[in-house]
Amino acid sequence: MKFGLPQILAARHEQFGGIVATERPRALVHLDRALMRRLGYGPSALWDNPAPSPLSAPTEVHLVLSKRCAAGCKGCYVDATPKGEVMSLDDAKRSLDELARLKVFHIALGGGEAMDIEYLFEVADYARTVGIIPNLTTAGLTLTEAQAERCRVFGQINVSVDGVGAAYEKARGFDGYDRAERALRLLRAVTRHVGINFVVSRSSYDGIDEVARLAKKLKLSELELLRFKPAGRGGGAMFDAEDLTPEQARGIYPKALRLALRRRLRVKLDCSFAPMVFAHNPPPALASFFGVQGCVGGDVLAAVHPDGVVTGCSFGGPPEADGRQVGEFEAAWKTGFRAFRDYVATAPEPCASCRYLSLCRGGCRVVSAARGQWSDPDPGCPRVQDYRAKNPPVRHSMPIV
């Protein structure tokens, strides 16, 4: 430990200074150049570049190990099936080698159901070996005591729970709540870094409070609220039925804040909820300080799919590279991901004149594409809804000849 700071697990130079990963508290801390020098990291060639540039690499990459799962959740965003595609162990290791070379800090392992892959723990061990912290998302439906013990290798483990009791079945289409709760208890017995992923849809919204009570009762580390995405089986008619109502969209931030304060619980909102937060007019400087931001695809996040294809987001985006091939990810990161990165510079109204544009980045690109075009403002944003109500599109009628 240096200068009284928490233990540093890893560090990486950036144009502004650098990023360090700390153990307690678990965090990625952005430091200026002076602090990096004080910690013994520097100088760097990146500091010689005066022009603003993206991060040198993502801080986290979603490694989608498979599209295989027998659960059959009705809104599965990867359209997982019992015979879905699986990334080979060798390909997973090759991808990890590339990410380690780029000094990526975290990988999020998921699927499909990653727990059903026989080499899951070998992948996690290998990630540790090359200096990357592996995290896991699982439904927990088949978790055994022996597997729970081995989960100590993960940094954070979140179990997908979209409701308590009958609400779980309503959200997912099958009765799996008791098994999911059992998984939470088994995991919590071996590590304190266990949380819940809750997909917030129109029908699951009213169950958030009860899941928060469960998280508090089991002394879990976090409750992460994820917006329902129009991907995989969650697209089309399913998204039409489960997209949040305007009232729910406006209410999600106050609800999350209330639960955090009342339950003394760490409640996180995923990046696609940023427009709903900014609709409540927080001071931009304060929002920036606390890291509130919209779409982070191609900025701090990327995804590697079972076939090796790299995209800016797990839910969508143009193919950018083959993450298994030496140098492809790095080359793409330097000049690619334009579908995500160019939005702020080319944003249409009402985003163009919004004071939160640089933080919000137009909301969720995947939702925008489902309702129109990739480059459109997020239609779930309350500000966008108000703007369109006041400025309806002009409809041109055909002349009668």
Q: What is the pLDDT of residues 44-96, one digit of tens each?
A: 999 998 878 899 999 999 999 999 999 999 999 999 999 999 999 999 999 99
Given a contact cutoff of 8 angstroms between Cβ atoms, the answer to whether 269 and 226 are in contact is no
Once rounded to an integer, what is the mean pLDDT over residues 192-200?
97
Q: Of 3.40.50.2300, 3.20.20.70, 3.30.365.10, 3.90.650.10, which CATH number belongs to 60-341?
A: 3.20.20.70
CA distance between the termini of the chain: 82
Given a contact cutoff of 8 angstroms between Cβ atoms, the answer to whether 351 and 362 are in contact is yes
Q: Any idea where the domains of the chain sit in the sequence?
A: 8-48, 60-341, 343-390
pTM of the model: 0.93
pLDDT the model gives residue 25: 81
pLDDT tens sequence across 142-171? 999 999 999 999 999 999 999 999 999 999
Confidence of residue 289 (pLDDT cuts 50, 70, 90): confident
- Please list, in sequence order, all residues whose beta carbon lies within 8 angstroms of the beta carbon of residue 29, skipping any fewer than 6 positions away: 19, 20, 21, 22
High-pLDDT (> 90) share of the chain, %? 88
The answer, yes or no, to whether residue 183 has pLDDT greater than 90, is: yes
pLDDT the model gives residue 5: 59
The answer, yes or no, to whether residue 296 has pLDDT greater than 70, is: yes
What's the rounded Cα separation, in Å, for the pair 226 and 229? 9
